[in-house]
Amino acid sequence: MEMILLLIPVSVVVIGAAIAAFIWAVDNGQYEDINRAGDSTLFDEPVDPHSKPHSS
């Protein structure tokens, strides 16, 4: 039973992290369009909007 004294604080920390991660995800717009991410695996070319821009 004493184990609970350790496990409960651990769970509080884990849940806090989960909520923080969730809020971060929402703020990054991950829930704006939930269909496209699944389709993106079907592309021929890798789609990476963060790739280094080509000089023009």
Contact residues toward another protein (CB under 8 A) are 1, 4, 8, 11-12, 15, 18-19, 22-23, 26-27, 29, 31-33, 35-36, 39-40, 42-43, 45, 47-51, 53-56
Q: What is the closest distance, in whole angstroms, from the C-beta atom of residue 15 to another protein in the complex? A: 6
Identify whether the C-beta of residue 30 lies closer than 8 Å to the C-beta of residue 23: no
- Residue 8's Cβ-side half-sphere holds a number of Cα atoms within 13 Å equal to 5
Q: What is the closest distance, in whole angstroms, from the C-beta atom of residue 34 to another protein in the complex? A: 9
Which of 43, 25, 42 is CA-nearest to residue 34? Answer: 25
